[in-house]
Every structure is written in structure tokens, then in C-alpha cells.
Structure 1
Amino acid sequence: MKAWRRSRAIRRVKQGDGRPLQRFRWWQLPLGRALFHLRPSSDGRRPGAYTVDVRHWGNQPGGEKTAHLYLDGRHHAQSKIPAAFPVEGGVIEVATSRFGIKRCHYVTTTGQEHQLVPDPKSGEGRRARLERDHPTVSRIIAATSIVLLVIGVGLNLPQIIGPISQVPPIAENLGTFTSPIHLPPWLNITLALGAALASAERALRLRYHWLLDAGGH
């Protein structure tokens, strides 16, 4: 299944137009643009420098996101996301959630995976620098994100299941469920905002879980 999805993604790749790569601008922080680099390999098997450029907002017709691949600073290819760009020795895979990048890896023909390096000026690059320079603060932030997401899922899931269980076919076959949790609207909104911020923080570290980061796709 993974090979089939990768093959399908490769067929979506379109040739680039050769335009130069634009510099990262400060107003594209924190989640407006993602920029990742893959340097040439030391053994010469991958002589070019690749850059993946994803704009999360704007220039996305029909709500679809597009990944752009640059080779040595020139537009080399583009594809709808999820994307798989064939390069020397493997493919570069790109996938997103609603909150940012959840995968940007170079996968070799032997199956080895290497995450591309985020641009130092990007949100992902700044988050990586925080983790490198202040590991304790980074761990506290990461743990807080997990706590917010677990609380959000634990409190909101029963409230969601209740109305769904009232649907006649479900009620007839499985019975109904009454949630023991009834939160005021302001608290539900607060939890939703906290979960969104937590998922955004995790996206800056390319962390994603289908249940915790339920807002992703």
C-alpha cells in the first residue's frame, strides 16, 4: 500500500519552470511557509542541493496545498500534497496536516529515511534551534502540548459520541450513549484553541498522531 501511494504521488509531479528560490521573509512566520533543505551527499551520489518549499496559506487553488522542489536554487518540480519527488538515490516525501508539515523526508532506495533540515529562519528552524539551545524549555513546551491534546480528546470525545449515538441506525444496533461530561461553551472553545496551539507547536517539530492531532488530514 505504501509503494502504491508513493507511485501515485510520483505521477502527480510536474516539471518546474526554473524560477529562482525566494528568500524566507519574516512575515511568513510562524506557519505561513515551510522551507526544508537536503544538502549534497558527501559520497557524490547526490550532487545537487534540494529545497522543499510549502506555502500553507495563499496561492492554493481549491484549497489544495502544493509542494515545490528546488534544485540548486532553481524551481525543479512541483506536486500536490502528499508529494513524492524522485531524486538521485531515492525520493523526497512531503505531507501536511492542517497545522503544518507532518513529514518531509528523504527516503533512499534501500529504505533509509532522513528528515530534511528546516531553514534556520523558518518556524520549524527556530523551533529546532530552541530545542538545541534550551532543551529543558523545549521539553516542557512539548510536554505541555501533549497534555493539552490529551485533555482535549478526553473531554471532547464523549461529547461528540453522544449525539452520534442518537442516529437511529446506530441507536438500534449499538444503543445510545449519554455523555457524563457537559462543558460550558467558553470552556469548549478554550480547549479547542489550546489543542490547536498544541498541534501547531507539534507541527513545527514534524510530530503528528492521527488521534491527538485530530485536526490534521
Structure 2
Amino acid sequence: MKLVLFDCDGTLVDSQHMIVGSMTAAFMTLGREPPPRDDILSIVGLSLPVAVGQLDPAADEARVAALVDAYKAAFFEARTGGLAEPLYPGTVAAITTLAAREDVILGIATGKSRRGLEAILAHHDLRDYFAVLKTADDAPSKPHPAMVVDAMAELGAEPERTVVVGDTVFDIQMARAAGARGIGVSWGYHPPQALVQAGAHPVIDHFDDLVPAFDRLFSGEAT
């Protein structure tokens, strides 16, 4: 069995407008200067308290907690207000193609909360494709390998037959730390070269490239 674990934000869905808007609102709610857009996008993939701590290094525990609460409130308001988190082109075709294979099982490893992930999957009618969901509620923040290790243990998958697909160095570092391989995607929030330096092999430019890249990984032909 081969296990493919997808990141969510920046890999399956484009959440940048929701994330940047919500983080900006959170800082403003507390009377803080919002971080630049690029700084906010650089921490996508980390669990929320860790991300906030990186954006506001001087924050004490109470301010981090307040920023987290303000972010969650702003994000919920944006979602209920109709702001979308669209799928990237080709997402459904790639997922359905891999899910149809008898020797492949799919999962997700994300810094989102379980509630947020479940909402995304329900909105796009994708929940049934994934046998395991690992979120910020289940394990330490990426790049800690726990989400991958726990998913492999739950499904009986071996590290050498596990692949993480993600758009950030945190995804690739998490995969490598767990003994798995990482496929980077160039359409997300970290530069492709940074993914290569983190150990992604390969980095793909479109979801149409995922299945061929996956097949090359397991045929010894990856370049």
C-alpha cells in the first residue's frame, strides 16, 4: 500500500485571501501593526499558535492566545460571509485518479483545525476520498513529523511507501523527518527553490503532473 498525504492550504485550496485578511484583522483587533502579506503567507502550514508567535515574536502567551482567538473569529466571519477557499485547478481529477487505485490510500496532514478542514472537505465534497485526517488538533505543528508518523501507524503504511504533497518547506521537512518522501507544488505559498532545498523531489507545476510524478517515484525514474 502507498499512502499519499496532502497538505490543505496552498496545496488543495487557495486560502490566501482568507488567511491574510483574517490575520490582518486579528492584529488590528488587538491594536497591533499587521504583518506584511508575504510574512503572513510564509507561515501558512504552521499550527496557529506557532504561526502567530513567529509573526509577533515579542508576544507573551496571553497575547498569542488573544491573537489566535481574534484570528479564528475573523476567519469564521469571512467564511460565513461567503469568502471562498477555491480548489486549485486539477485537484479533483488528481485525487479521484489516485483514490481509484487499489494500492493507494489518501490522507491529509494540515495545520488547520479539524473543524476548519472538515468544513473545506464538506464544501468541496471531498471527505470520502480520505482515509485519515491529521490536523493541528492531533499533533505538534509542522515540521514535527507526528502527523505523518501517526497517519502511517493508523493505516499500516511504511515510510518508504509514504509521500507528502505540499507547498511549503514545513510539509517537506515534516515528510523527511518521518522517513517519507515529499512532492512539492509550485502554486502555493513558498518558492519552488525553497522546496527543493528542503528535500522535495520533485516539485510539480500543475496537478496534472502529480500522478506521473508519483508513478516515477515508485518506478525509480524520478528526476
Provide TM-score, normalisation by structure 1.
0.27
Relative to its length, the structure with more strand (as a share) is: 1
Provide TM-score, normalisation by structure 2.
0.26
Relative to its length, the structure with more helix (as a share) is: 2
Larger radius of gyration: 1
Q: Which has the higher contact order (CA 8 A, sep 6+)?
A: 2
